[in-house]
Amino acid sequence: MNLNFTPEEEAFRQEVRAFLASKLPAELVQKTKTGVRLGKDDYKTWQRLLYEQGWVSPKWPQAYGGTGWTPIQIHIFDEECFAAGAPRILPFGIGLVGPVIINFGNDEQKATYLDDIRSGEVFWCQGFSEPGSGSDLASLKTRAVLDGDKYVVNGQKTWTTAAHWADWMFTLVRTNPDVKQQEGISFLLIDMKSPGVEVRPIITIDGEHMVNEVFLDNVEVPAENLVGELNKGWDYAKFLLANERTGIAGIGQSKAEFRTLKEIARVERKNGKPLIEDPLFQSRLAKLEIDLMALEITNMRMLVEEQKAGKPGPMSSILKIRGTEIQQQLSELSMDAVGVYANPWIEAALEANWNGEPVGPEYAPARTPYYLFRRKASIYGGSNEIQKNVLSKAVLGL
């Protein structure tokens, strides 16, 4: 594998940089780089700008709005967006349900949903996990019973990210309780405005409200909202989760965080030299950088293989494991780097309208919530222990 970028790829990088310099709003950059909370409108603004540029869904087939970029171009685009301070695109529409509809949905579903997914006019959430079904997702209990031309859905979903913003939810439901667990699951699209849908917030340890509980009480869903075949939802979920795990690796975001970490470590301290001059910290920093470079190379290999196969393979589990481990190491080193400024965390300082005294350097208020948020990275999207089981079966044949 040639690890050098071609002149054409470097020219593409410059094209992306020029777009970011002219179109990425400065207020979004400021929020992203200082850890200020992003709202629904922030995500919507950035997605709309990419949609208008034609760059919002680079992995989609060109017939449905994809860019036709090579895997290396997709990697460059991701890297440059995070380096410039762009917020991430919430994955539930573009990265998850969109590809499922493209690959398994019917023509009417494609015509109804795909453009609104790309434009960001319709926000989505993912209704997979349940109180008793997280890593063991196939044990889910939410039922959907066909009644004439509609399904009646009853159950509960949890850890549902952005459900309080979402217009629609794609979800797994049990449509046949009398067969093997994986064989009785279907993939359903639910309008969040439907009677019987209730969203309750879950406030996480970092003080954020991004996840929720969703209760479904006799929710009526048109039968036409079934994606693909009845009782084949587990196959579609495996396809979707492979895409999710690839995105969770977050190479571009980790590289941007690593640059921030080095900037923090270069700040001269009141009682001594900058932390980056400490040999022990240098050693930890060097090891992390090597691990991140290795992950980046692995990611590019996976992208090339994905392009050939048309879907992610088991390597997506490797990316998820190592990517989240590196994210956690980054957050730990960041806490060490800010030192005492990690302690007096004032949550209100993360709001855009904060007008109080600065809490240490500009970057300091964001370090503690960043650290707390990353504690769960090895769990969401399928815990790392589950990913090792996936690899043992798919790669080692155990």
CA distance 150 to 148: 6
Q: Furthest-apart CA pair in the chain: how many Å?
A: 74
* Concatenated DSSP letters of 243-260: HHHHHHT-HHHHHHHHHH
CA separation (Å) from 382 to 103, 128, 306, 324? Answer: 22, 11, 20, 11
Cα 73–Cα 66–Cα 253 angle in degrees, nearest 5: 45
Rg (CA), the chain: 22
Catalytic residue among 79, 80, 130, 244: 244
Cα of 138 vs its chain's centroid, Å: 22
For residue 52, give both structure tokens: 């208008």
CA distance 11 to 214: 46
Cα of 154 vs its chain's centroid, Å: 27
For residue 270, give both structure tokens: 């009141």
Q: Contact at 8 Å (CB) between 171 and 190?
A: yes
Examine the residue annotation and report whether 213 is marked as an active-site residue of this protein: no
CA distance 332 to 284: 11
For residue 319, give both structure tokens: 């990316």
The Cβ of residue 31 has, within 10 Å, a number of other Cβ atoms equal to: 19
What are the catalytic residues? 244
